[in-house]
């Protein structure tokens, strides 16, 4: 695209917000598109849609535009920081941003502005990203429906009416799905990136635990928390992951094509009829171009979900008990109830759960090879109307918590669906195969 910047500014018919992530990055690098122009357009889209969709807690328009102009100047002087240079990013409101209060989806978590950035925020800015705002989350990031009765629930932009966005990274998924931002950051402790990505029809990733620093991130579970990217496409996940990471891993090179593993219909039950059918059809189509094998899970998906939930509840209670035990605090009663379950778990029981986790992981990996890719639906049900949600039930994380409990890496992508609601398909590999999984998906599915 050898178009001069002045020419681009005179071409209002070009909708850059519809471009893929790689095209946006390339456009900025080539000079066909200025970061300040792109950020301005996204800020206008946020202003237009956020009142109805409630995705952003707060935006930083002047700060973002000033940084965009500075990065445009850097580029004009020959300094390109990498693929994230000049791209706007939204951050889930559980990471410290200097000078801003870290709300953690709550009215009672913190009242003092952060004195420094979370490590991953610094990493993003070093890579050239522009932080445009903070997105809503389920209170304390503990909930898969995406509801927040303390600060308000983001609305799924892909469906009519008041429909659940999935959680807990609800605002991040809504912002990407609604075209308010090309890239967003969430957290995934039991599926909290993948579930809203799936229900809102975007791409999301749970990286290997420890790949991205948690320093400066409000904790839910130290044993399970991961920071993960959300984007409109696989390339967006790759670009954002590279900017987020705090360590590199030496990934084993595959000497043969990966084997797709799938589970039986019985292993998925109970599941929406349409999702079951879509999954079976997808596996059938894959079998025509790649080797696939049935996989017999050592434990049921609901059992992995429950065991992961025990770890989450214990850790969350340890981190947040001072707030939870003060019943004067204006807290979401459903989140309080979930976390208070951790009060009943003794230190001895928790130590036993951790030992059992190691045993369960070894049993899973014994039959799940280093070149295997497990394919699952991301959620057993599509998004639900807010008025019909039963907060005592947790069905949406039944297919996702396996990856957190066993510390696998997982990506969800939008599933071509005949249903009226978005559906995600999930791809899972062993830990530290993050880049390899993204490369596999790019090669096989694009």
What average pLDDT does the segment 93-111 reach? 96
Q: Taking phi first (over 0 means left), then psi (-120 to 50 degrees means alpha), and beta for anything else, what does residue 63 get? A: alpha
pLDDT of residue 106: 96
pLDDT of residue 12: 45
With CA atoms as reference, report the closest residue to 426 among 381, 378, 387, 356. 378
Backbone φ, ψ for residue 441 (5° rounding):
-65, -35
Q: Is the pLDDT of residue 76 over 70?
A: yes
Are 327 and 440 in a shared domain? Answer: yes
pLDDT of residue 419: 83
Backbone φ, ψ for residue 292 (5° rounding):
-130, 150
Contact indicator for 314, 342 with CB cutoff of 8 Å: yes
Are 217 and 336 in a shared domain? Answer: no
pLDDT of residue 3: 27
On whether residue 420 sits in a domain, the answer given is: yes
Are 153 and 287 in a shared domain? Answer: no
- Domain-ending residue, one of 187, 221, 244: 244
d(CA 104, CA 86): 27
Are 264 and 234 in a shared domain? Answer: no
Are 198 and 170 in a shared domain? Answer: yes
Domain residue limits at 366: 259-445
What average pLDDT does the segment 188-206 reach? 98
pLDDT of residue 11: 38
pLDDT of residue 256: 59
Question: Structure tokens of 150?
Answer: 């303390």
DSSP state of 331: -
Band of pLDDT at residue 194, cut at 50, 70 and 90: very high
Band of pLDDT at residue 249, cut at 50, 70 and 90: low
Q: Residue 99 CA to chain centroid, in angstroms?
A: 25
Are 324 and 393 in a shared domain? Answer: yes
Q: Is the pLDDT of residue 253 over 90?
A: no
- Find all residues with CB under 8 Å of 428, minimum gap 6, and list them: 373, 374, 375, 376, 402, 403, 408, 409, 410, 437
pLDDT in tens, 287-310: 988 889 999 999 999 999 999 999
On whether residue 164 sits in a domain, the answer given is: yes
- Domain-ending residue, one of 219, 244, 269: 244
Contact indicator for 327, 337 with CB cutoff of 8 Å: no
Dihedral, 103, 107, 113, 119 alpha carbons, nearest 10:
-20
Question: What stretch of H or E contains 114?
Answer: none
- The domain total for the chain is 2
d(CA 283, CA 182): 30
Contact indicator for 239, 128 with CB cutoff of 8 Å: no
Please state, for a pLDDT cut of 90, what percent of the chain lies above it. 87
What average pLDDT does the segment 436-444 reach? 91
On whether residue 253 sits in a domain, the answer given is: no
Contact indicator for 15, 114 with CB cutoff of 8 Å: no
Dihedral, 31, 32, 36, 39 alpha carbons, nearest 10:
-130
pLDDT of residue 257: 62
Band of pLDDT at residue 252, cut at 50, 70 and 90: low
Q: Is the pLDDT of residue 182 over 90?
A: yes
Please state, for a pLDDT cut of 70, what percent of the chain lies above it. 94
d(CA 171, CA 187): 12
d(CA 404, CA 115): 30
On whether residue 254 sits in a domain, the answer given is: no
* Lowest pLDDT segment from 10-14, 64-68, 83-87, 163-167: 10-14
Residue 256 burial (10 A CB sphere; 0-12, 13-18, 19+): exposed
On whether residue 249 sits in a domain, the answer given is: no
Are 279 and 392 in a shared domain? Answer: yes
On whether residue 250 sits in a domain, the answer given is: no
The neighbouring-strand residues paired with 19 are: none
Are 41 and 116 in a shared domain? Answer: yes
Are 289 and 388 in a shared domain? Answer: yes
pLDDT of residue 246: 78
What average pLDDT does the segment 356-360 reach? 98
pLDDT in tens, 363-418: 999 999 999 999 999 999 999 999 999 999 999 999 999 999 999 999 999 987 77
CATH number at residue 400: 3.90.1300.10
d(CA 416, CA 445): 12
Are 167 and 288 in a shared domain? Answer: no
- Domain-ending residue, one of 214, 244, 274: 244
pLDDT in tens, 24-41: 999 999 999 999 999 999
Average pLDDT, the chain: 93
Band of pLDDT at residue 4, cut at 50, 70 and 90: very low
DSSP string over 27-94: HHHHTSS-HHHHHHHHHHHHHHHHHHH--EEEE-HHHHHHHHHHHHHHHHTT----TTTT-EEEEETT
Q: Is the pLDDT of residue 250 over 80?
A: no
* Lowest pLDDT segment from 80-94, 217-231, 244-258, 405-419: 244-258
On whether residue 252 sits in a domain, the answer given is: no
Question: Catalytic amino acids?
Answer: 92, 168, 192
Are 265 and 138 in a shared domain? Answer: no
Instruction: Return the ∠ at Cα 114 (arms to 108 and 119), rounded to 5°.
Output: 115
Q: Is the pLDDT of residue 280 over 50?
A: yes
Contact indicator for 174, 232 with CB cutoff of 8 Å: no
Are 229 and 344 in a shared domain? Answer: no
d(CA 423, CA 149): 25
Q: Taking phi first (over 0 means left), then psi (-120 to 50 degrees means alpha), and beta for anything else, what does residue 191 get? A: left
Report which of residues 444 and 172 the model is more confident about.
172
The neighbouring-strand residues paired with 415 are: 423
Q: Is the pLDDT of residue 258 over 60?
A: yes
pLDDT of residue 446: 59
On whether residue 251 sits in a domain, the answer given is: no
pLDDT of residue 1: 27
């Amino acid at each position: 695209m050898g178009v001069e910047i002045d020419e681009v500014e005179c071409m209002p018919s070009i909708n850059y917000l519809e471009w893929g992530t790689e095209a946006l990055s390339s456009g900025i690098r080539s000079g066909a598109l200025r970061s300040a122009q792109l950020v301005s357009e996204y800020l206008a889209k946020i202003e237009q849609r956020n009142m109805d969709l409630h995705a952003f807690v707060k935006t930083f328009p002047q700060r973002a535009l000033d940084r965009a102009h500075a990065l445009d100047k850097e580029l004009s002087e020959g300094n390109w920081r990498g693929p994230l240079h000049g791209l706007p990013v939204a951050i889930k409101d559980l990471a410290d941003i200097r000078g801003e209060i870290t709300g953690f989806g709550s009215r009672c978590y913190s009242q003092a502005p952060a004195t420094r950035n979370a490590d991953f925020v610094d990493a993003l800015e070093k890579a050239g990203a522009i932080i445009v705002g903070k997105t809503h989350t389920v209170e304390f990031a503990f909930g898969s429906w995406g509801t927040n009765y303390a600060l308000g629930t983001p609305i799924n932009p892909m469906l009519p009416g008041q429909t659940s966005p999935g959680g807990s990274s609800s605002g991040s998924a809504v912002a990407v799905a609604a075209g308010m931002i090309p890239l967003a950051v969430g957290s995934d402790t039991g599926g909290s990136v993948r579930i809203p990505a799936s229900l809102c029809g975007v791409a999301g990733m749970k990286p290997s635990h420890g790949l991205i620093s948690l320093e400066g991130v409000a904790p839910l579970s130290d044993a399970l928390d991961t920071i993960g990217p959300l984007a409109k496409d696989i390339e967006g996940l790759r670009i954002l992951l590279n900017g987020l990471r705090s360590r590199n891993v030496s990934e084993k090179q595959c000497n043969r094509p990966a084997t797709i593993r799938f589970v039986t219909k019985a292993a998925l039950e109970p599941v929406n009829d349409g999702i079951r059918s879509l999954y079976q059809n997808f596996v059938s189509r894959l079998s025509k171009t790649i080797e696939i094998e049935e996989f017999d899970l050592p434990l049921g998906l609901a059992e992995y979900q429950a065991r992961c939930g025990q770890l989450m509840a214990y850790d969350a209670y340890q981190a947040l008990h001072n707030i939870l035990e003060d019943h004067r605090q204006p807290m979401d009663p459903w989140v309080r109830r979930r976390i208070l379950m951790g009060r009943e778990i003794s230190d001895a029981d928790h130590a036993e759960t951790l030992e059992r986790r190691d045993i369960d992981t070894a049993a899973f990996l014994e039959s799940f090879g280093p070149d295997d890719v497990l394919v699952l639906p991301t959620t057993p049900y599509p998004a639900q109307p807010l008025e019909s949600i039963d907060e005592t039930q947790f069905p949406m994380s039944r297919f996702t918590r396996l990856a957190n409990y066993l510390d696998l890496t997982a990506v969800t992508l939008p599933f071509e669906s005949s249903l009226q609601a978005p559906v995600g398909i999930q791809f899972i590999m062993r830990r530290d195969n993050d880049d390899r999984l993204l490369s596999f998906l790019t090669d096989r599915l694009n």
